[in-house]
Amino acid sequence: MHKDEGMDTAHNMTLSKHKSFCRICTGHCGVVATVDEHHKLVAIQGDRDDTQTLGFICSKGTDAVDSHNSDQRILHPLKRMADGSFSAIPLEQALGEIASKLRVIIDRDGPAAVAAYRGSGGFFASASIQLVNAFLDAIGSHQMYSNLTIDQSAKWVAIGRVGWWPPGAQPFHTNDVAMLVGCNPLVSIAGSGFDTRHPLKRIRDAKERGMKIIVIDPRRSETAEYADLFIQPLPGNDAAILAAIIRIILAEGWHDGEFCARHVADLDLLQQALEPFDPELVAGIADIPVESLREAARLFARDCKRGTVSTGTGPSMSPFSNLTEHMVTCLNVVCGRYIREGERIGNPGLVLGWGPKRAQVMDVGRSWESGPKSRIGGFGTVGGEMLTGLLADEILTPGPGQIKCLISVGGNPAAAVPDHNKMAKALESLELLVSLEPFMTPTAILADYILPPRMPYERADLHLALFETAIYPDAYARHTQPVATPPADSELCDEWFALWSLASRLGQQLVCNGVELDMQTPPGDDALLAIMAKNAPVPWQTIRDAPTGYLHDEPVFALPPDPASTARFTTLPADVVQEIAELRDYCHMSAAERTIASFPYRLTSRRSRHRFNTVGHFSPYLKRLMPWNPACLNPADMALEGIENGDWVEISSDHGMICARAEADDSVRTGVVSITHCFGFLPGEEDYDQYGVSTNLLISTDRDLQTINAMPRMSGIPVAIRQAHVKRNVG
């Protein structure tokens, strides 16, 4: 804690300022938090002296003052009563009752009947993050779910299929080119392959030093405004676009032949397999100029020598998403865009372990081919987790292994998970739903018990270590002490405390990072963070006591490969051959065959500045900035459909129908409607002015799932659009 005191003379109050950092998104913005003499948060400002984020802050970051002090915040454990209302009960009682119910379920149905879902709130509570897995391990359940498998799990699939390069990809600040496919870091402040620490400054600086930026997005996004080459395709065509770009590069010999000869097992097979992706054909399907594909290949592979192609949520949510990420990885591989032997690895990790890595391919294996399988569809695990696209069916389908209890740790599956009605029905049907959550969200409303935790500025914390090498270009760690105290008379329960206490009551031993926790005395934030950082190169105290972050600047270089290693990148495994065949067939369909006549538009996902997924719906300030989620349409399409700005429009897919207000937006290409996710409330609660509407009503999890990761089709969704006179949502 870094402290500075002063007087607020108008209110005759002693105010003090403390450095900390925001934990709503991976931006991790350094802030100065002002608290009053009762340690109540009164202001949050961006910290201009922060070495990483340089003063950047957004509307959600400053709103933390109101969210911490909100009169809608839950301040006591709540229990759902027989009549559906909630009653505040003492924490000990709540934990005791939950433990007894867990005991009954485990004894009767086995440990696999107990599942956990970690959402964003759970990811950003660092002291708690390990406890969720530790709890499930202790009781013997494999049912770990999170938002990662309705996000970009295609990246794990690609690593499992192609191979991993331990020193990492070439980092943004050393590069002369960046190809960004379906991500918008200037708004999402997210994304590997970019520098999200004050992204506007970073992109301007990069352009100033000559970096070329290629953006592929159906919407001329805020990031696309900085592009040297902007390609605006119909959504869902990224796999074909990237296949065509690789085909051009290989045909022209612009790839890194030396790197490929040494590290790629089957380049010739890839080249043959991509033969069907003739640029003319692909350009026709994606509705882009063929020259833009050639220009992208030239700029990326011939004219620039360092830089990567990276994706965000757009392509990972659209059709052919695993194949798209495969092509992304292949493009980086054929151009050799990895940190090489002898080169400095800017961030070789810190909290989760640090040290030199060999410049060679590592075969990490296909996690989904061994280990536990889902009952529905026989899918395996990805990133060590079961697949959220199947969660509702795993709850609803009777039989051995059916999930009867879900512990939601900082997540809002009732609002965030596709197939909105099915997910809500599943949560409602659970024998026991526990929500570790500060607000009365759709998920909390369906819960049997709500345990409200301390909010970020009230707890000690670390940056999101799981993604540390993507967030920080150097080996850097950010710790904060609590800077505010929780509201008076509250009885809160941190996520870690709930899980520790439940395990303890069930007589289970928790093990975190190889350390057995004392199950008699609660560990506390500091002990848990120290355990997480036990493989860091410096003692925990060094990281903890660095007031504004710890930089470990001992240089690390990529080591020579192990001569005995035979691992190579595999660009054409058998399942990819099959996916390429499917994509080829799709590309060879006629336009009429490719489009479902009754659903001629494509709905695309996008993020909004003034929400973080479902976070912000309880904030008067953020709601003023963005009350609901408009359906953004190109004015030409609006004219075609006879829709005026502000009109109600019906958007229907083969699964459901929603109503939203149309907004003319010429940054959206024709044929597309762009609308933000995670609005809306529970099925049946239709109050657009209050909540907006859930696009998850349009998405099925019965079909259109990707193989391997069961990723639902959440973007590039075929829809019909028409002016509506009566507003109604039908899932």
The candidate with the shortest Cα–Cα distance to 528, out of 545, 511, 548, 549, is 511
Binding flag, residue 457, ligand MGD (CB under 6 A): no
The footprint of ligand MGD on this chain (CB under 6 A) covers a number of residues equal to 69
List of E strands, 57-104: 78-80, 86-88
Binding flag, residue 181, ligand MGD (CB under 6 A): yes
Binding flag, residue 528, ligand SF4 (CB under 6 A): no
- Report, in Å, the least distance between residue 539 CB and ligand SF4: 28
The rounded distance, in Å, linking the Cα atoms of 541 and 234 is 52
Judged by beta carbon, residue 297 or residue 382, the one nearer Mo ion is 382
Judged by beta carbon, residue 52 or residue 324, the one nearer ligand SF4 is 52
- The number of CA neighbours under 13 Å toward the Cβ of 32 is 14
Judged by beta carbon, residue 22 or residue 708, the one nearer ligand SF4 is 22
User: From the list ligand MGD, Mo ion, ligand SF4, none, which binds 548 (C-beta under 5 to 8 Å, kind-based)?
Assistant: none
Distances (CA, A) of 643 to 52, 191, 605, 637: 45, 35, 21, 8
Among 326, 463, 478, 606, contact with ligand MGD (rule: CB under 6 A): 606
114 within 8 A of 105, measured Cβ to Cβ: yes
87 SS3 class:
strand
Percentages helix, strand, coil for the chain (3-state, rounded to 5) are 35, 20, 45
Binding flag, residue 191, ligand SF4 (CB under 6 A): no
- DSSP class per residue in 654-694: SS-EEEEEEEE-TTBPTTEEE--SS---STT---HHHH---
User: From the list Mo ion, ligand MGD, ligand SF4, none, which binds 141 (C-beta under 5 to 8 Å, kind-based)?
Assistant: none
The rounded distance, in Å, linking the Cα atoms of 214 and 227 is 5
Binding flag, residue 191, ligand MGD (CB under 6 A): yes
User: From the list ligand MGD, ligand SF4, Mo ion, none, which binds 412 (C-beta under 5 to 8 Å, kind-based)?
Assistant: ligand MGD
- Report, in Å, the least distance between residue 10 CB and ligand SF4: 27
User: From the list ligand SF4, Mo ion, ligand MGD, none, which binds 349 (C-beta under 5 to 8 Å, kind-based)?
Assistant: none
Binding flag, residue 411, ligand MGD (CB under 6 A): yes
**What's the CA angle centered on 175, arms 170 and 176, to 5 degrees?**
145
Among 98, 148, 183, 189, contact with ligand SF4 (rule: CB under 6 A): 189
Spatial neighbors of 560 by CB under 8 A, at least 6 apart, are 341, 342, 358, 359
Binding flag, residue 190, ligand SF4 (CB under 6 A): no
User: From the list ligand MGD, ligand SF4, Mo ion, none, which binds 22 (C-beta under 5 to 8 Å, kind-based)?
Assistant: ligand SF4
The rounded distance, in Å, linking the Cα atoms of 721 and 176 is 41
Position with the least CB separation from ligand SF4: 61
Binding mask 56-95 for ligand SF4 (x = CB under 6 A): -xx-xx----------------------------------
The candidate with the shortest Cα–Cα distance to 562, out of 363, 364, 362, 360, is 360
User: From the list ligand SF4, ligand MGD, Mo ion, none, which binds 133 (C-beta under 5 to 8 Å, kind-based)?
Assistant: none
Binding flag, residue 478, ligand SF4 (CB under 6 A): no
- CA 259, 261, 266, 268 torsion-angle sign: positive
411 within 8 A of 121, measured Cβ to Cβ: yes
Judged by beta carbon, residue 25 or residue 576, the one nearer ligand MGD is 25
Binding flag, residue 385, Mo ion (CB under 5 A): no
Binding flag, residue 413, ligand MGD (CB under 6 A): yes
The rounded distance, in Å, linking the Cα atoms of 609 and 212 is 25
First to last CA, the chain: 49
Q: What is the largest CA-CA distance in the chain?
A: 76
The rounded distance, in Å, linking the Cα atoms of 191 and 470 is 8
Binding flag, residue 151, Mo ion (CB under 5 A): yes
- Report, in Å, the least distance between residue 373 CB and Mo ion: 25
- Contacts (CB under 6 A) with ligand SF4, residues 15-54: 22, 24-25, 27-29
User: From the list ligand SF4, Mo ion, ligand MGD, none, which binds 494 (C-beta under 5 to 8 Å, kind-based)?
Assistant: none
334 SS3 class:
helix
Among 678, 705, 711, 724, contact with ligand MGD (rule: CB under 6 A): 678
352 within 8 A of 465, measured Cβ to Cβ: yes
Binding flag, residue 149, ligand MGD (CB under 6 A): no
Judged by beta carbon, residue 221 or residue 271, the one nearer ligand MGD is 221
340 within 8 A of 359, measured Cβ to Cβ: yes
Judged by beta carbon, residue 57 or residue 227, the one nearer ligand SF4 is 57
Q: Which residues bind ligand MGD (CB under 6 A)?
A: 25, 119-122, 125, 147, 150-151, 181-185, 187-191, 216-219, 221, 235-236, 238, 312-315, 317-318, 409-413, 416, 418, 436-439, 441, 453, 455-456, 495, 604-609, 611-615, 674, 677-678, 695-696, 699, 714-716
Residues forming contacts to ligand SF4 in the complex (CB under 6 A) are: 22, 24-25, 27-29, 57-58, 60-61, 189
Per CB under 5 A, residues contacting Mo ion are 151
